[in-house]
Chains A and B, each alone.
Chain A
Amino acid sequence: QKEVEQNSGPLSVPEGAIASLNCTYSDRGSQSFFWYRQYSGKSPELIMFIYSNGDKEDGRFTAQLNKASQYVSLLIRDSQPSDSATYLCAVTKGSNYQLIWGAGTKLIIKP
């Protein structure tokens, strides 16, 4: 079992709809959870992070964390073609809080 799992996609969503990206993790001791967006040929950029159970909203983005079920999700409302990218889930582990990365989900927003 991978430490952080994501559906590789591609996930195709019509423009204006809600895109839902999911991530599960294996270490119950993980404390911090991150969502990154990576455009082709670019480095990852941080979208959101979440520590506590529940929802955290930032503009069109909402991160959801459920520690009991060990999953974290990212919702993108009013999806735009510019949201088309690979979305990486990362989870902290260990005393250095190093990041363990999922393989990423490729999201395609269709005009």
Chain B
Amino acid sequence: SAVISQKPSRDICQRGTSLTIQCQVDSQVTMMFWYRQQPGQSLTLIATANQGSEATYESGFVIDKFPISRPNLTFSTLTVSNMSPEDSSIYLCSVGGQQYGYTFGSGTRLTVV
């Protein structure tokens, strides 16, 4: 299965600022998924990122707040923009498919103060 390097692992940010999270995969993948996991809760899909096209956002998530880049088949970034304390969460990227399952990056723990 693919190995994903995600960074930063954690950050503490001031409200109103932005943070960009990076995920690097050790193999080429068509789709990358970005999730949010709030404390004690399950995973919520933010968006699906395909190389060469606009990301597809889930209900409740918008591009202006969570812009995503997918410049090639091994890399993607998620930016959390104009942050508020409600954005404090763990953000995870994931790759895979239904045939072999999905693997996750190590996560980014974001605290907004």
Contacts and interface: CB of A to CB of B under 8 A. Distances in A.
Chain A: number of interface residues, binned into ranges = 20 to 34
Contacts of A104: 42
Interface in A54-111: 88, 90, 92, 96-99, 101-104
A49 B101 contact: yes
Contacts of A98: 33, 45, 48
Contact of B97 (A44, A88, A97, A103): A97
Centre residue among B92, B97, B100, B101 by max chain A CB count within 10 A: B101
Interface in A15-64: 31-32, 34, 42-46, 49
Contact of A32 (B1, B41, B98): B98
Contact of B104 (A32, A43, A92, A97): A43
Contact of A31 (B98, B100, B101, B106): B98
Interface of B is mostly: strand
B104 A99 contact: no
Nearest to B48: A96
A98 B102 CA distance: 10
A61 to B, nearest CB: 14
B28 interface: no
A92 B43 contact: no
B42 A88 contact: yes
B98 A44 contact: no
Contacts of B41: 103
Contact of B102 (A42, A99, A102, A103): A99
Interface of B: 1, 31, 33, 41-45, 48, 56, 92, 97-107
Given A42-B107, A92-B98, 20 more contacts: A31-B98, A32-B98, A32-B99, A34-B101, A34-B102, A43-B107, A44-B92, A44-B104, A45-B104, A46-B103, A49-B98, A88-B42, A88-B43, A90-B102, A96-B56, A98-B48, A99-B33, A99-B43, A101-B42, A102-B42
